[in-house]
Structure 1
Amino acid sequence: MSNVKVFRLAYADFNVINAERMVEYYTNVMGYRISEEQRGVTYLSNGLDHHNIVITPAETKAVRRYGYQLDGKLSLEEVQKQLHVQGIASTLKSDAKPGISSNLEIKDPAGNILELFTEMEQPAVGFGTSGIVPLKLGHIAFYAKNFKETINFYRDALGFNFTDKIGESFANFLTCNSDHHVLNIVASNETRLHHIAFQLKDASHQYASSDVLTKNNIPVLWGPSRHTAGHNIATYHHDPDKNVVELFIDLDVFIPELGIFEPRPWHEELPLKPQIWESLSAWGTEFEMDLASV
């Protein structure tokens, strides 16, 4: 078993068709702040880190990189050696990204490029004063070819815990901390983003976020509704590049030592343990948009 341990999803780096529109969305609608602009690339901060979202102009939309922070118990050189033993190729880079002095670049079995690092500059630009202003970047969901191998990669190589599933193979939830999931790996014959998710503080914040979207002529696609896996109350909308964005509250808290989730009044059983769920919504609500087909 590897001693390599990721403890948070730090950033997503997007290839964007219309970078100007996407930067406007993240600043004016989402309430992020620009920490740096370099060679046409915009780095946006949730409030503390140098960046949590990176916007890179491109001819086609995609996620260029996902950034994960390691617990720091091993140096990047030691991490590289452990990954090598597992047959995982990696490249150690210096000053490849502003705010991060060095990182280790690897690729998961689905083809996603990951940047592992131990330290990021924290200029503490502060939370935005207008727009939605999430508490943090919460999780990523992506369609994955080789999805079983990809799940094992995150568990065995990077120290993720498996929590829930929806269906036998459709959605697979993993976490590297106490959040119910930091990753949702969706079985597919291709690899691409399913959605990116941001945590809000409470129900009033979620209601207000829908008002912000409406004022900016951005319709809510799905929700609010309480999910089964994770029990988060979620709404979904499209960003300017038609990526699906989730805004959520009430995500389950995982206790790996006990193999259960912290008890909540809305849980169907106590103690609640990881399981296979049959449906998406705990409320049984039906919506025009089926998130399984985005």
Structure 2
Amino acid sequence: MIPIFRLGYAVFLSKEIEKMVDYYTNVLGCVLVERDVDGTAYLSNGFEHHHIVIRPDQHSYLKGIGWQVNQTMSLQDVQQILKNEGIASSLEHDVQPGISEQLTLKDPDGNSIYLYHHMAFTSPGYSNIGIIPNKLGHIALAVKDVAKNVDFYHRILGFYKTDKAFDLANFLTCNDEHHTLNIIQAEKSFMHHIAFQLRNPAHQYDSSDILARHHIPTIWGPSRHTAGHNIASYHFDPDEHVIELYTDMDKYIPELNIMEPRPWHKDTPQRPKKWTSFEYWETQFSDILPTVENRKEDRPSIRVPL
């Protein structure tokens, strides 16, 4: 089992890179740390060099996800585990700023995965404008083969399984957050949404005001989810990726296979379960959130949040 313990960064390709950089700096509140000669932007949401990478391209979609690995296992040993499972990977050096060594591979649906030990620190990583989330919290992937992907992330990469919703969404975590990854059954592969953690409900209200000042509508929420019990709202970035802003997510205790006690848990103790609804307050998902047109092979965006 590979000791992944943290969601590190997301890499996007973008047709509208300047609009995306403007959104991430002036709306979301990240800091633009560095730009390559080709225009690639590295943005930080904390003390590390980057949490969002945006590269110019003729298409717009999520290219890959960086996951941080505990130093108790070398990347060479990780590579051997992958090789034993028949999974190809390449050990790369100095291929991006801030990371001297990383292991690159693909998940069963072809999403790039970057495993690394260290990322250089930067200052300042926290902005003084925009929403300014606490951190990059989780990513939801729509995939064509849920069983194969859940097995890959659980059995090989070491993620814990927490909740399920219907036969659609599968929640997994690599630490004590209820989920750092959500795997969703779909006919095509794409990023369903990317989520940033806010400080508290007041920060959630403030974020909606900031979005409104930038003429960015909220497409769903705020409301409280069932799986994870987080308060969440959703909007689009300039490339029409779904962005979730959330707070109050459950903490998972893997040793006990329960969530920490919370006032709104109907089940005590709250154990991982299969939910038959997506939200707790009986707010209805809107039917005006259609799937957008495919933009690159099987990598479209979608407008319906989970």
Residue 178 of structure 2: aligned partner: 180
SS in 2 for 1:51: coil
Q: Do structure 1's residue 165 and structure 2's residue 164 form an aligned pair?
A: yes
SS in 1 for 2:212: helix
Residue 112 of structure 2: aligned partner: 113
Structure 1 stretches (4+) deviating beyond 3 angstroms? Answer: 289-293
Residue 205 of structure 1: aligned partner: 203
Shift of 1:289: 4.9
How far apart, in 1, do the equivalents of 2:98 and 2:289 lie? 35
Residue 25 of structure 2: aligned partner: 27
How far apart, in 2, do the equivalents of 1:258 and 1:250 lie? 20
Shift of 1:124: 3.2
Residue 246 of structure 2: aligned partner: 248
Shift of 1:291: 7.1
SS in 2 for 1:80: helix
How far apart, in 2, do the equivalents of 1:109 and 1:58 lie? 24
Q: Percent identity?
A: 49
Q: What TM-score, normalized by structure 1, do the two folds share?
A: 0.97
SS in 2 for 1:266: coil
Given that residues 172 and 186 in structure 1 are in contact (C-alpha distance below 8 angstroms), is that contact kept between their aligned partners in structure 2? Answer: yes
SS in 1 for 2:76: helix
Residue 97 of structure 2: aligned partner: 98
How far apart, in 2, do the equivalents of 1:68 and 1:149 lie? 19
How far apart, in 1, do the equivalents of 2:42 and 2:162 lie? 32
Shift of 1:212: 0.3
Which of 238, 256, 274 pairs up with 1:258?
256
Residue 143 of structure 2: aligned partner: 144
Q: Size of the alignment, in residue pairs? A: 291
Q: What TM-score, normalized by structure 2, do the two folds share?
A: 0.93
Return closer, same or farther for 1:279/1:129 CA change in 2, 3 Å cut-off.
same
How far apart, in 2, do the equivalents of 1:35 and 1:123 lie? 8
How far apart, in 1, do the equivalents of 2:226 and 2:173 lie? 16
Deviations 1:45-72 (A, max 9, x none): 0021100000111111111111000011
Residue 125 of structure 1: aligned partner: 124
Return closer, same or farther for 1:291/1:263 CA change in 2, 3 Å cut-off.
farther
Given that residues 32 and 128 in structure 1 are in contact (C-alpha distance below 8 angstroms), is that contact kept between their aligned partners in structure 2? Answer: yes
How far apart, in 2, do the equivalents of 1:183 and 1:233 lie? 17
Given that residues 30 and 125 in structure 2 are in contact (C-alpha distance below 8 angstroms), is that contact kept between their aligned partners in structure 1? Answer: no
Deviations 1:106-162 (A, max 9, x none): 100011000000111012323110100000000000101122100000011111000
Superposition pairs of residues 227-238 of structure 1, within 5 angstroms? 227-238=225-236
SS in 2 for 1:212: helix
Residue 222 of structure 1: aligned partner: 220
Shift of 1:82: 1.3
How far apart, in 2, do the equivalents of 1:49 and 1:59 lie? 28
Which of 247, 268, 271 pairs up with 1:270?
268
Q: Which blocks of at least 5 consecutive residues in structure 1 are unaligned?
A: none
How far apart, in 2, do the equivalents of 1:69 and 1:228 lie? 28
Shift of 1:290: 7.2
How far apart, in 2, do the equivalents of 1:104 and 1:14 lie? 18
The letter for the 2-side match of 1:115 is Y
How far apart, in 1, do the equivalents of 2:11 and 2:201 lie? 29
Return closer, same or farther for 1:275/1:291 CA change in 2, 3 Å cut-off.
farther
Given that residues 222 and 289 in structure 1 are in contact (C-alpha distance below 8 angstroms), is that contact kept between their aligned partners in structure 2? Answer: no
Return closer, same or farther for 1:24/1:84 CA change in 2, 3 Å cut-off.
same
SS in 1 for 2:25: helix
